Amino acid sequence: PVIKDRITHWVEDIVDSLIIEYSSIQTEKLKILLISDEELILSYISKVFSTFLKDINININETQSNNISLFILSEISKSINKLKIENI
């Protein structure tokens, strides 16, 4: 439960930082980045997440970290895709 709560809060914080007073141009660029560099972003999130958990004495394997990262990226993508982007 502790890890699940931390993941939930982390996703909420990331999404909030992306959608509160968002810029249409930045959001579009982020959407492109999420599509074009998905493997790189997943790897980055996975490594950050593993390090974060190690700092609180929780060890997970690479597969678990990758699965959590996929979930995080999926939630971020869903939130971004829900935004109404103004045409510029």
Q: Is the pLDDT of residue 88 over 60?
A: no
Q: Is the pLDDT of residue 64 over 80?
A: yes
Query: What's the predicted TM-score (pTM) here?
Result: 0.68
The one-letter amino acid code at 34 reads L
pLDDT of residue 21: 64
Q: What is the mean pLDDT of the chain?
A: 79
Q: How does pLDDT run across 12-51, given as a tens digit for each residue? A: 887 777 766 666 667 777 777 777 777 888 888 888 888 8
